[in-house]
Amino acid sequence: MDILLSAIEVLSRWDVAIALLVGSIGGVAIGAIPGVGPAVAIAILLPATFSMDPIVGLTVLLGIYGSSMFGGAIPAILINTPGTAVNALTTYDGYPMTLRGEGRRALSLAYSASFFGGIFSVICLIALSPLLARVAPMFGSREIFLAALLGIILVIVAHRGQMLMATALTGFGIFLSTVGLEPVKYTRRFTFDQTWLASGVNLIVVVLGLFALSQALVLLTMDDEKVRLTKSRGSLFQGFRELARHPRVATVSAGFGVFMGMIPGVGEFTAQFMSYTSARKMSKTPEAFGQGSAEGLIASETANNAVPAAAMIPLLALGIPGEALTAMMLSVFYVHNVVPGPGLFLYQMDFVVALYLALLLLNVLVVIFLLISTGWLVYLTKIPNRFLGMCILLLSFVGVYSIRNSAVDCAIAAVFGLIGYVLKRLNLPIVPIVLGMVLGGIMEVKLRASMNRVNTPFDFIDRPIAFVIFALIVVILLGTFWRVWRDWVPTDRRSLARKSSDRFARRIAGRKTRHFEIKTKQQRRRRSYDHMGS
Amino acid sequence: MAGQAVFILGALGLSLLLLSQITTQTVWIEDAKSFPAQPRFWPGVAIAMMVTSFGLHLLLMRRRRPDRLDWVEARRWLEPLEYVLWFMAYVFLVPVAGFLPMSLIFACALTWRLGYRDAGYFWVAALFAVCTVALFKGLLGVKIPGAAVYDALPGTLRSFFILYL
């Protein structure tokens, strides 16, 4: 009770209240503009939050993270363009509803489903807290090392079809985290005798380059799109009544969101695809999915909004970020000397509870704001891409330059902006670089610490949690290798012309074979007739 | 996908270059407590991951030698260099001309460069620049130093400009 009261006291501070309001409103607006997204916004705002209290800074960032997906549903439903990447499935059922003139109904359904997903996950987070508080102290150096290793493996495995590239880019991230002075003997690593490399490559600079600057470059080099808004009817409140008619879909989808959010490296995409598939299986009208089904819309929006709160679980309990956005938030903890992990639950529980309550309030604020402002938020989708690129470029400068007032940092960010641009053009993932950087640093420190108490390799997994995580790693690796081996198809290196020529030859050969078979049969028959006749 | 062969070859080349430098750019400590405590261990792991994965990817690619389309795509990667130059020019000019004046010039000039000639766009760009400066430097107090030209301003105005603009 004392903890709850002190958490409420923290939240009633004016700066925290403003942070909540700014985070929620800002997040919705950012989500509603296609091409920006929470990663860009958080990367830009990150250095500005370093001068704030940890609870204020984290509330702003969490606000943006949690509410951007609410806002992202607006362009996904009205103009068939997801505001954030995780709203992609919302377009499947949201846009067909808009085409039928039911845009406001679809928006209302999306808001209510998102609200349900958000509240459900915060309640799960609160319910799991006592368990987390008991389990988290059992995590020593080797358990945290193994959990970080599990996180890296899951990030790679989650990029199905691009696993080799994800591995290489994770390696690149780990390499970046090793540049500079190493933490024990202070020897230089890959500094090439350059003084500016001695302090290492700053995570925020890399994040700003890879997310914000690269997005600005993508927008600046693309053409503007013409956005046409259609008229829609219905009430923005009817979705809440309609959601009550599908409690099973909403609960199962939120469950998927919470479960997937807790697992590092998996995140919103897997959660919403799994919830969408299960909702279609459970539905009495599966044929309506993709044609404007209310259940489909509920499934995708509930699942992706249940993830942010759940993604905070590994971050708060173990200090291990599961995806890029929580990795960025980790730096806020580090800057303020707040060490996320077991100690947080033991000594700063009021801080943790304040974060939970902030998340709860955030969802309420966002829904109220959306019900009032949807009418004008729609016009944000009309901002031209290239103009938006100019705005992001200007804001990126503030983000990078304000860290250390260093032109070198800006140049490094520009280089990573170009790398991000190339990766985006090639449709390759960026997140493994950031997670490799963050988790690589954690793994190095924790492995070194744990090796001091290990005599034989088996000592590493002689504790129950370490053994469970190790077993999980082995199962995931074996499963992945088996799946790759089962689906293995040898690379076809023939040119397109050669391939079509071979195909044509096979068809001709088939005809020939059939032709000869018929001829042979006729000859046999003739022979037998001859024989009979003779 | 067009351009992938160029990217993979470049990335593999860079990884091999880093691998060749590992003995000169990292040290081997004789009295290290364990193998993972060697300063060379983690860079080695990272570079091994890069070389193996990029190498395997190249090995499994349908077409390993870049063709004309790959080079066309690679040339497109140079397109954003112009905007990178804009960005770096802005970075170098802010400490000289000031955050607010440079933001106004940068926003309006880039808007013009992007082909927006309507006056409305210039007003929005200028408003955006002013709001950015007011929010980040004025309200949030982010660390962006005052400009050299502000020294020419009279006393109180000078300190106001240095602190807030």
Min distance B125 CA to chain A CA atoms (Å): 8
Burial A259-278 (b: 16+ CB within 10 A, else e): bbbbbbbbbbbbbbbbbbeb
Q: Check A491 against B128: CB less than 8 A apart.
A: no
pLDDT of residue A418: 96
pLDDT of residue A159: 84
Q: Check B39 against A182: CB less than 8 A apart.
A: yes
Neighbours of A218 (CB within 10 A): 19
pLDDT of residue A480: 92
**CA nearest A213 in B: which residue?**
B84
- Specify the higher pLDDT residue, A317 or B46: B46
Residue at token pair 């005809």? A511
pLDDT of residue B128: 93
Q: Check B43 against A440: CB less than 8 A apart.
A: no
Q: How far apart, in whole angstroms, are the C-alpha atoms of residue A170 and residue A176?
A: 10
Check the CA dihedral A313-A314-A319-A320 and report its sign.
Answer: negative
pLDDT, one tens digit per residue, over B88-138 is: 999 999 999 989 999 999 999 999 999 999 999 999 999 999 999 988 888
Local confidence band at B44 (pLDDT 50, 70, 90 cut-offs): very high
Q: Which of residues 30-59 of B touch A (CB under 8 A)?
A: 33-34, 36-37, 39-40, 42-43, 45-50, 52-54, 56-57
10-residue mean pLDDT profile of chain A (534 residues): values are 78 86 87 80 83 84 85 84 78 86 86 91 85 80 89 86 93 95 86 89 89 91 78 73 88 89 74 85 86 88 87 83 80 77 78 85 89 80 88 89 88 95 92 89 89 82 90 94 88 76 74 63 59 40
Orientation angle between helical segments B99-113 and B119-133, nearest 10 degrees: 150
pLDDT of residue A534: 34
| Inter-residue contact A20 to A66 (CB < 8 Å) | no
pLDDT of residue A263: 80
Tell me the chain B residues in contact with residue A191 when contact means C-beta distances shorter than 8 Å.
25
Q: Check A167 against B49: CB less than 8 A apart.
A: yes
